[in-house]
Chains A and B, each alone.
Chain A
């Protein structure tokens, strides 16, 4: 009988071989033999008794959600074992497996109707027409689609031209001098009415947490934990982010120089390089990309400020095209970004392709910001596997390449025909000509050869080339190409083994680790950043309020009247200008006194805090109470020098955007508080002998993003501090904690 537990090893405790002090050797050997055998048996037992299934031995990134019942989700080498295990577990299950009841009634009717809709839409696509179904009930939509098909059939006898030039349903959607209407959703159209699904939506929805924001469904973060993996990929490999939600517009103007000067606030001949920096419309609204080619200017900005910038550019240009749904982009970070991209982008020979191939063989992180390539490529799906581009001889060193590209007489890395194709709606539409469906692609592969890596060359040559724009931003490489070519590129890019994927949050992490602020979170002095800050505050407050009473933290004892759930710029502005207005207030707590109009008289700091708390009721939440320090503004100059005067109605507080790094151990989290360091305590804080909570009147700012920075191996943060702070040290304290740490700050670039 085997032992009850697989892990128990049977042994003979009472040794029979030793009798009366005499050892019987044969018996002793026999019992040891028994013990060795039972130990080996036990090893086998425990091995097979374990309930781990084969897919659990895979690394987490290779595991698939449906792997427990679908062997096709498991790598081929493990499938036999998985099948065996599946049969065993089925045999072990008690009772017959319950079969799913069939679909009946209303559900069945709805399924049938949606099938009908899809069939009609497919029929229209075969006729190369765009479905023009409006919103309404399903019956109405079916009716309108059938009518559309009927009309086309009638007209087909005459010479009516089809709208689409491919079976995929891709076409250029552009708004001329007005905002473009979003592309109609083919499936689940109703869900896409308010928030547009990007072409990669289905791919992302399976793997990511999506958020609905700024009119798009945005991949926020992968379902898998990836803080360390993202850091590693950005340091040694490559990480790809889909940024189709970013808005692009193309403006045509007879005076490009004036338009660019207005947008970038920088006078001079537009250079070959792409501009990455502040966009003025007419005040600073965000950081974005501006690229000019001949009489066109391409501008790419965050979707939150798209309409604002669009309206400004419209006033200053002849024609403007809203290319939000015509030009798509993705961003790649990490030293291998270009190397990975060049494995799937098969560039056509052109004047700039040599430079592209040369530079893509290097660690591309130190390439100067603004370096731009405009190239032509073929559909990346024509090649089954990614492959390294051929080595171009001779290969210059990276310093030589950078120097040669930065010199003023350098040959351009912009191919003029492809640049024109990128900026014109008609030519973009031409690039979709005969865009292959997956079915057509596999047909082509069948026809070529089952072993070939790519489809026949004459087929590739017969199809139009696709313009692709690649530029270096501060932390990433940004790729822009026609909207419906992003999906084929993305599908092939993520198959390259070195490429990791990330969402908006990972992009934020990469920026943060390199000390770059992220729009809109780290820009609370802009309208969008201000409202984002407000949203975050409300969310974390409501999370806290849902906790049971015993789990809720008593923030009041740590934070006094400052809002503990976010960056309380309201309080900061009032306390800084309030102490200036009432310079002689006392530190202690006194009884509150009121004047004849029942307004609080301010005699102590506590009176000031209470007065600020009272004034919250009349706060306009949409009014931005801080602004970025501008050295040309006379009030800001006075403020920085400390020679300013304030009226009872306070102006916005001038702030610096800064990055912080802790000097000793400790942590910085989001919305940590930043204080001035008392001169006398600087050394104590530096030695770590003091970690006391500083006085509330020393408050000078807040951290907008703070965490553990894996790149530096230390805690860092990005935040804003009042512009009159001169000392290079500050104190940082997390919300709801007493420990305070010394940090060093510098302005962000």
Chain B
């Protein structure tokens, strides 16, 4: 529908909440432009930090970090397929316990007049839209 409208479509991020420090280090968001292997590497690095044998990251073995059970990989819309294949790679090739949940999230669309220098506030319209998303939980091998 957005394609037929002659207005410029600005997509706002669905992440409207304030991200906590722990959440920052245990969440991974997949975009449709994220390269697959880069994502796998970055998630592996996150998992590695929680590895007990890793001496340099003692911070991840105490306090709030002790409660962390899994790394959460999220993707929505066009990135769903990629997110699932990342999850399956961790499940099949690296023997992690992986859980997949699906859901929907609210995003905000902004429509502005096409290529006009003098933008008037009245011409900007907002719309809500529901987008389906998938969440892959890769559980830590904490034992």
Contacts and interface: CB of A to CB of B under 8 A. Distances in A.
Interface stretch (B43-51, B72-80, B90-98, B120-128): B120-128
Contacts, number: 51
B120 A399 contact: no
Contact of B107 (A265, A273, A399): A399
B17 interface: yes
A370 B12 CA distance: 17
B118 interface: yes
A271 B122 CA distance: 9
Interface in B72-115: 106-108, 110
Contacts of B13: 363, 366
Contacts of A408: 122
Chain A interface main SS type: loop
Contacts of A402: 108, 126
B124 A406 contact: yes
Contact of B121 (A236, A339, A361, A370): A370
A472 interface: no
Given A366-B13, A366-B16, A403 B128 contact: yes
B16 A362 contact: yes
Q: How large is the interface on B (under 10, 10 to 19, 20 to 34, 35 or more residues)?
A: 10 to 19
B8 to A, nearest CB: 11
A682 interface: no
Given A265-B118, A406-B126, A399 B106 contact: yes
Q: How large is the interface on A (under 10, 10 to 19, 20 to 34, 35 or more residues)?
A: 20 to 34
A268 interface: yes
B121 A398 contact: no
A266 interface: yes
A265 B18 CA distance: 38
Interface in B11-30: 12-13, 15-19, 24
A221 interface: no
Contact of A273 (B15, B121, B128): B121
A363 B107 contact: no
A726 to B, nearest CB: 16
A335 interface: yes
Nearest to A266: B118
Contact of A363 (B15, B106, B118, B121): B15
Nearest to A370: B121
A336 B18 contact: yes
A398 B16 contact: yes
Interface string A254-290: 0000000000011010010100000000000000000
7 contacts: A236-B19, A268-B120, A336-B18, A361-B18, A366-B13, A366-B108, A368-B110
Given A335-B18, A402-B126, A403-B126, 7 more contacts: A271-B122, A363-B17, A363-B18, A397-B106, A399-B16, A399-B126, A406-B124
Interface of B: 12-13, 15-19, 24, 106-108, 110, 118, 120-122, 124, 126, 128
